[in-house]
Amino acid sequence: MSHLIGVIGAGTMGNGIAQTAAGNGFEVVMCDIKEEFVERGFEAIGKSLDRFVSKEKITAADKTAILGRIKTTTSLDDLAECTLIVEAATENFDVKRQIFEKLDEITGENAILATNTSSISITKIAAATGRPEKVIGMHFFNPVP
Cite the active site residues: 139
What are the start-end ranges of the H helices in the chain?
12-23, 35-54, 60-68, 93-106, 122-126
* Dihedral sign for Cα atoms in the order 127, 133, 135, 137: positive
> Cα separation of 144 and 41, whole Å?
13
User: Bridge partners of 114?
Assistant: 86, 136
Separation in Å, CA 28 to CA 4, 15, 59: 6, 10, 20
- Return the DSSP state at 141: P
Q: What is the amino acid identity at position 126?
A: A
Residue 54: CA count within 13 A, CB half-sphere: 6
